[in-house]
Structure 1
Amino acid sequence: MGDYAAALVFFEKVLEIHQKSLPSDHPDLVLSYKNTGESYRSVGNYEMALSYYEKALEIHKKSLPSNHSILAGHYNNIAIAHHFMGNDVMALSYLNEALEICRQSLPSDHPDLARYYSSIAAVHGSLGNYTMALSYNEKTLTIRQKFLPSNHPNLALNYNNIARAHHSLGKYAMALSYLKKALEIMEISFSNRHPLLARAYSNMAATLEKFGRHDEAVGYAIQAAEIVRSSLERDHAETKAYENQLHKLQQSMSLL
């Protein structure tokens, strides 16, 4: 968390300098707004992130054609901020705009399309459209498997997302299979304090619970909680979610 906070301070200082020395619609401001937005997103302040993403988009909309691929990137960032704020209908709207631009200018297996498919899958998952989430996650995987080595971290994230969709559809055996693939890569490629590893452990805990494997589920939930305690603030949404999951699993164990 300290690194994210330090990055935010740095990018805010850079932005302040640019705002004082450049016209309000100068292209260099776009990068500063985007970096500041990314930093706010990293510390969990999605409202501020959205504000800066919108400022970046506003500048580029004045100077770029409406179907320019750079605008698709801005729409994607805005959509992600809306998603984390719980505004999933808005998020899906922006993501569809981004996807439409990319489909016009990119081949059907272009890696950039995989990024948008992945984001759309996440939003559909939040809206409870788990079949759609699974479909878009599988589209993402199909593209990435063409370009990435079999042990690439992005494939691990994809496996994790597919597992979540299967879990939500009640297909727990399929979920467990994909989670094992994800963790096989993550535990080698990621640091043992990586937040995305915590997410995979949390998903594994939830899936193992469905099989009645409570001891193993608690073990994974403990690992997830320990990671976020060391990398995120206590009031961060993910910290609260993993702590709550662990508490519920431990309560269930005490009743057995």
Structure 2
Amino acid sequence: MGEYSKALEYYEKYLEITKISLPPTHPDLASSYGCIGGVYSSMGEYSKALDYYEKSLKIREISLSPSHPDLAGSYLCFAGCYEKMGDYTAALKALQNAYKIQQKTFQEGNPAFGFTFSRYGRVYRDLKEYSKALSYFEKCLEIDRKTLPEKHPDFGIDYSNIGDVHRLMGDYERALAFHQKALNIQENVKCNPLECATTYMNLGETYREMKDYTTALTYYQK
């Protein structure tokens, strides 16, 4: 939490400087508000995060074209925050707004779509609409396969997400296969340690649901 407080302090100082030196609708101000919103979201202070995201969005709506990718970025920030709050209806609406802008801005297969599809997948997984979640996670994987090098860390996230949905659908064989693919990447490239931990937990959950408690415990303890 201390690191978030420091980040917040620096962002707020920068915001004060930009308020003095730039016009009130300058895009850099929108970025500053968005960064502060992101810190509050990470701290779990979602109401404050939404307030700052709203300030950022209003500036971008005034200063940028309706198809500018930063507008899509604002809606994706809203979507992430609403997802954490459990307001999935609002999250889906924000994702739809982001996706509409991206369709006007990017060609099919652009990596930006992959991120949005992944967010869709997460929301539908939370809603227990597993077929839709799986479809979006697979779309994300398809884009990543076309745009990223073979051992890119993002594949670990893709495989882990797909494996988790298969587990939730009760297809344990496929779940284990995808989690193992994720682990093969995460243990052999520089990844966020939390991503490895998530895959270990997912493997543990899968084996637990299969009633293989010894193997489950092995992964829980990693």
**Structure 1 residues without counterparts, runs of 5 or longer:** 224-256
Q: Which residue of 2 aligns with 1:35?
A: 35
Q: Secondary structure at the match of 2:195?
A: helix
Q: Equivalent residues in 2 for 1:110-149 (5 A)? A: 110-149=110-149
- Range moving further from structure 2, 109-118 or 47-56: 47-56
Give the Å deviation of 1:52.
Answer: 1.5
Identity of aligned residues (%): 38
Give the Å deviation of 1:220.
Answer: 2.5
For the residues of structure 1 that align with 2:193 and 2:41, how far apart are their CA atoms?
16
For the residues of structure 1 that align with 2:212 and 2:22, how far apart are their CA atoms?
60
* TM-score, structure 1 normalization: 0.80
Give the Å deviation of 1:14.
Answer: 1.8
Q: Which residue of 1 aligns with 2:150?
A: 150
- Range moving further from structure 2, 105-114 or 34-43: 34-43
Is 2:198 the counterpart of 1:199? yes
Amino acid aligned to 2:44: G
CA RMSD of aligned residues (A): 1.9
Q: Secondary structure at the match of 2:187?
A: helix
Is 2:103 the counterpart of 1:103? yes
Q: Secondary structure at the match of 1:157?
A: helix
Q: Which residue of 2 aligns with 1:217?
A: 216
For the residues of structure 2 that align with 1:17 and 1:156, how far apart are their CA atoms?
40
For the residues of structure 2 that align with 1:91 and 1:84, how far apart are their CA atoms?
9
Q: Secondary structure at the match of 2:159?
A: helix
Q: Deviations over 1:58-112 (max 9, x none)?
A: 1111122333322111111111110011111100011011111212232211111
Instruction: Report if the CA contact (8 A) 2:76-2:98 is conserved.
Output: yes
Instruction: Report if the CA contact (8 A) 1:47-1:81 is conserved.
Output: no
For the residues of structure 1 that align with 2:4 and 2:200, how far apart are their CA atoms?
23
Is 2:2 the counterpart of 1:15? no
Give the Å deviation of 1:25.
Answer: 2.6
Q: Deviations over 1:125-173 (max 9, x none)?
A: 1111110000000000001001111211111101111111111111111
Give the Å deviation of 1:23.
Answer: 4.2
Aligned length: 222
For the residues of structure 2 that align with 1:33 and 1:105, how far apart are their CA atoms?
23
- Range moving further from structure 2, 43-52 or 79-88: 43-52
* TM-score, structure 2 normalization: 0.91
Give the Å deviation of 1:48.
Answer: 2.4
Q: Which residue of 2 aligns with 1:246?
A: none
**Structure 2 residues without counterparts, runs of 5 or longer:** none
Give the Å deviation of 1:195.
Answer: 2.3
Give the Å deviation of 1:49.
Answer: 2.2
Q: Secondary structure at the match of 1:170?
A: coil
Give the direction of change, closer, same or farther, for the CA distance of 1:220–1:16 in structure 2 (3 Å limit): farther
Give the direction of change, closer, same or farther, for the CA distance of 1:84–1:214 in structure 2 (3 Å limit): same
Q: Which residue of 1 aligns with 2:46?
A: 46
For the residues of structure 2 that align with 1:200 and 1:7, how far apart are their CA atoms?
29
For the residues of structure 2 that align with 1:183 and 1:35, how far apart are their CA atoms?
31
Q: Secondary structure at the match of 2:188?
A: helix
For the residues of structure 2 that align with 1:35 and 1:194, how far apart are their CA atoms?
24
For the residues of structure 2 that align with 1:197 and 1:6, how far apart are their CA atoms?
27
